[in-house]
Structure 1
Amino acid sequence: MLTRRFLISSLALLPLAATAQAGAYEAQPLSVAEMQAGGGLIVDIRTPEEWAETGVIAGARLVTFEGAQGFIAAVGPDLADGRDLILVCRSGRRSAAAAEALQTMIPNRIISVEGGMARLIDAGYRTVQPQ
């Protein structure tokens, strides 16, 4: 029996693939701009050194993830309207772990960018220098 994740990932036409965690999703790189345009809040959880090294997504909030409580304090007011929270890190591992940590703490849909900034850049996504 094929899993839902395998089926969705195989159909590259669909932008989201379910992860093992209920309420958290992984986004393919090409759907990130679409999600941002749809009102999603992109939060880059990498370190300032990583932001400077590769640049950041234009319009992304830059908040290093050092724990769920501090993160929620930093971005919580921006999530009050129920918008999607889109997390990006260097490779996708930190954002997936952060999504898992946050999923029971906030009601918003949480999305981890699969492959992180490395995959976004490989896919031709343009970045800007952090301000």
Structure 2
Amino acid sequence: MNIDNAQLEKLIEEGVPVIDIRRPEEWRQTGVVKDSHLITFFDKKGNYNVPAWLEKLAPIAGKDQPFILICRTGNRTGTVGKFLDKKLGYKKVYNVQKGITDWIAKGKPVVKPAN
């Protein structure tokens, strides 16, 4: 389900976890939404390892628990969110439609990533 910045803020206030699927160099370049879980999905070449990624997601959210996916512009998270929903049965996946670039452009806060 696509969401905008206002919906993102509301869900964060409700305690819904944010998963930033970008790469570490991207996190360092822009900063991240406070308290985001940093779990890279695609490497620089576009490769991915679904079982390894799901293993990192498991302690944060299960198939019936809501979570938010964010990337640079919403393209990667749109793809990943649809895959998690349609193929793997995750029912409460939120995609930040315009990604962190829009969040930053609207003056929303970011923090330095921990790693």
Q: TM-score range by the shorter chain?
A: 0.7 to 0.9
Q: Deviations over 1:36-62 (max 9, x none)?
A: 121211000011000000000111000
Give the structure 1 partner of residue 74 of structure 2.
92
Distance in 1 (CA, whole Å) between partners of 2:56 and 2:94 is: 18
Aligned positions, number: 107
- Are positions 1:76 and 2:52 aligned together? no
- Are positions 1:52 and 2:25 aligned together? no
TM-score (norm 2): 0.85
Distance in 2 (CA, whole Å) between partners of 1:106 and 1:62 is: 22
State the one-letter code of the partner of 2:31. G
* Structure 1: 4+ residue segments shifted above 3 A: none
Between the aligned residues of both structures, percent identity stands at: 26
List runs of 5+ in structure 1 lacking aligned partners. 1-24
- Are positions 1:31 and 2:7 aligned together? yes
Q: Deviations over 1:72-98 (max 9, x none)?
A: 110112214843110000010000011
List runs of 5+ in structure 2 lacking aligned partners. 42-47
Give the structure 1 partner of residue 83 of structure 2.
101
Distance in 2 (CA, whole Å) between partners of 1:124 and 1:48 is: 22
Distance in 2 (CA, whole Å) between partners of 1:99 and 1:107 is: 9
TM-score (norm 1): 0.75
**How far is the alpha carbon of 1:106 from its aligned partner?**
4.0
The partner residue of 1:110 within 76, 93, 101 is 93
